[in-house]
Chain A
């Protein structure tokens, strides 16, 4: 972990209060979405973030762009702790980080024109005159491969892939340095996924962007990210260079996650998941309340007594190349 990281997440906790609670009775139970998450992203780097549904991936992305206030921990962006800033002092940092959501059908208001959508961040952040805003929006649309004439149209006139380009144009219009990509290709068909990934890679190269790339698609992550973090139930269990992580996963959860991907097996014509006895997760449902031990222990085929009692820390392994939170990794 470099000290001068562009974005540094330090011990991020997010707890949501469960249930409505009454008018006088506040809901007491909480759900821990993220627990002590620490990650860094260097300038110009793409960090992949993978994990199953409900692992807290999207919540972490929202913490980064200050949509969800963390219950604990710091978000240090270019040397400044954003969590300590009020709305007014946060304003100068807003244009520098943007987010692309999973479903552009949801993230673009169907009642707005594309011009209004793409210029919205500029209007809200009071950047430039109306004319300059339109010109910048037109430039950005062309940059992502759409005609400037699209400004007058509505998003419902465009396909899913085109809408995601519009969402990317909106994210880029403030000339950000960091983009949080929250499953930007998950809702698209395969050929469109490839085009959007190419576009994102091209933009990263030409604009020097940093990405936090949130996905459950291991293929997409290996294309775009040099380094990947694996999230399980709100905890980082393994961080490693993409190639190392895919070739030699060491945390039992990472192993299970990668084994669950269908792959070609010699002698068979169709790909299938290769789940061996050694890596199979148990089907035991995760417990409602969490014990003191490792969060993965209830499903882990290798759990030992120690795993139930003490939670493993995220510590460097193999020199500085990898971070691992497991008492007995592969």
Chain B
């Protein structure tokens, strides 16, 4: 009898990669994921820890300091009302990143529920649910968002719910395909033979098997929602002024850049690009690992 190839000391449940030592080595072997995660953590620190360091209000209007370009005293310059653009960028990151992440959580939960139910339903019901999903997917997200945005008061909570509700169908389709791929596996049959019910199989075998691919698509969804939210804010349908958000800052800056205030579009544009890049790098990194590249 051969000894096992390696000997982990204990088990780590759903997330074996979260064991500190393994996490570090996993990141070393996946530089793309590590770079994406680093960039993402930088943006999170910028948005949530940054305000603690600078003690400057993003709302304080200073008529004497209009349109100051970046300098040592105003690192990212000031805007059309003399507000510190650094502070506005930092506070603006909170809704941009937070709404996208929490919206993704809602989308993942809804997508998993719908997709797994469909994959585990009898064939006729599965077909009905999937055709319904096709119909929902056919609706353009941005148009749908604009429609809903006209109906409700826009704040962080309503935006989280709206973004969550429009982005679950893609995840539902992925979840359903994963269920179909795994539900005929021998280990699922073995559990059925011990009397396992559908609920048990969904919670344990199926969920654990599909977790990595769901994680990948969740990161892509976050990137997608950062962009969607920026687009909405740009159009004035997102986070409402005077509260800052990257998309809103970009929209405001686009009117002012023509008079030379280039920093008012460069920095919010850069932040949005970096956020999307970070999430896509993470997702692609995990995907590469899953596919053994």
Contacts and interface: CB of A to CB of B under 8 A. Distances in A.
Nearest to A167: B190
Interface residues of A, number: 40
Contacts of B194: 94, 120-121, 124-125, 174
A111 B128 CA distance: 32
Contact of A124 (B6, B127, B195): B195
A232 interface: no
B11 A107 contact: no
A157 interface: yes
B270 interface: no
Contact of B11 (A98, A101, A113): A113
Interface string A91-111: 100100011011100111101
B4 interface: yes
Contacts of B260: none
Contacts of B2: 159, 162
Interface stretch (A144-152, A268-276, A317-325): A144-152
B191 A99 contact: no
A111 B204 CA distance: 10
A108 to B, nearest CB: 6
Given A98-B193, A125-B194, A109 B8 contact: no
A124 B190 contact: no
B208 interface: yes
Interface string B125-137: 0011001000000
Contact of B196 (A124, A159, A170, A174): A124
B62 interface: no
A120 B11 contact: no
Contacts of A162: 1-2
A229 interface: no
A158 B4 CA distance: 6
B246 to A, nearest CB: 38
Given A20-B123, A23-B127, A109-B209, A120 B191 contact: yes
Contacts of A158: 4
B200 interface: yes
B162 to A, nearest CB: 32
Interface in B176-224: 185-187, 189-196, 200, 205, 208-209, 211
A141 to B, nearest CB: 11
Nearest to A26: B124
Interface in B106-160: 123-124, 127-128, 131
Given A23-B124, A106-B186, A109-B187, A66 B4 contact: no
A67 B187 contact: no
A87 B5 contact: no
Nearest to A117: B187
A50 interface: no
Interface string B206-248: 0011010000000000000000000000000000000000000
B11 A87 contact: no
B200 A107 contact: no
A111 B186 contact: no
B195 A125 contact: yes
Contacts of A152: 8-11
A20 to B, nearest CB: 7
Interface string B1-35: 11011111111000000000000000000000000
B8 A153 contact: yes
A146 B190 contact: no
Nearest to A149: B7
B186 A103 contact: yes
Contact of B1 (A107, A124, A145, A153): A145
Nearest to B7: A153
A265 interface: no
Interface of B: 1-2, 4-11, 123-124, 127-128, 131, 185-187, 189-196, 200, 205, 208-209, 211
6 contacts: A62-B189, A90-B195, A101-B190, A109-B208, A124-B200, A162-B2
Given A67-B189, A98-B193, A153-B7, 20 more contacts: A20-B123, A66-B193, A91-B195, A94-B194, A99-B193, A101-B186, A107-B187, A107-B189, A107-B190, A109-B208, A111-B209, A120-B191, A120-B194, A124-B191, A124-B196, A152-B9, A157-B5, A158-B4, A159-B2, A174-B194
Q: Which 5 A-B pairs have the closest CB atoms?
A: A107-B186, A106-B186, A121-B194, A157-B4, A109-B187
